[in-house]
């Protein structure tokens, strides 16, 4: 059995409404088609993000410092230490 569309009232900002109307006219589609596609895409992206979080929930937590390559720590030394040779390596 085919699904029927549901009617809803949406209040757009004037500039957004103009942009949607122009896109609909340019693509020979209705404003409803444009809005439906945009909502579907946003919901699908949210679902992908939630799935990615679920996949990584068991991963261990590591600190920011531990995630940086060791050579980056040298970059955080002061200019004086690096260039005068006072840095301990």
pLDDT greater at residue 71 or residue 12 = 12
Cβ neighbours for 63, distance < 8 A, ≥ 6 positions apart:
none
CA–CA dist 26, 24 (Å, integer): 6
User: What average pLDDT score do residues 38-43 get?
Assistant: 92
As a whole number of Å, the end-to-end CA separation of the chain is: 73
User: What average pLDDT score do residues 38-42 get?
Assistant: 92
CA–CA dist 18, 13 (Å, integer): 9
* Residue 29 placed within a domain: yes
Nearest to 32 by CA among 54, 58, 40: 40
Predicted local distance difference test score (pLDDT) of residue 32: 95
Domain that holds residue 27: 14-84
How many domains does one find in the chain?
Answer: 1
* Residue 37 placed within a domain: yes
Q: How many residues does the chain have?
A: 89
């Amino acid at each position: 059995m085919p699904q029927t569309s549901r009617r809803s009232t949406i209040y757009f900002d004037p500039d957004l409404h103009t942009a949607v109307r122009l896109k609909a006219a340019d693509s020979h589609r209705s404003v409803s088609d444009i809005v439906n596609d945009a909502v579907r895409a946003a919901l699908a992206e949210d679902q992908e993000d939630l799935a990615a979080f679920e996949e990584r929930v068991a991963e261990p937590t590591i600190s920011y410092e531990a995630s940086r390559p060791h050579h980056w720590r040298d970059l955080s030394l002061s200019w004086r230490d690096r260039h005068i040779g006072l840095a301990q390596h």
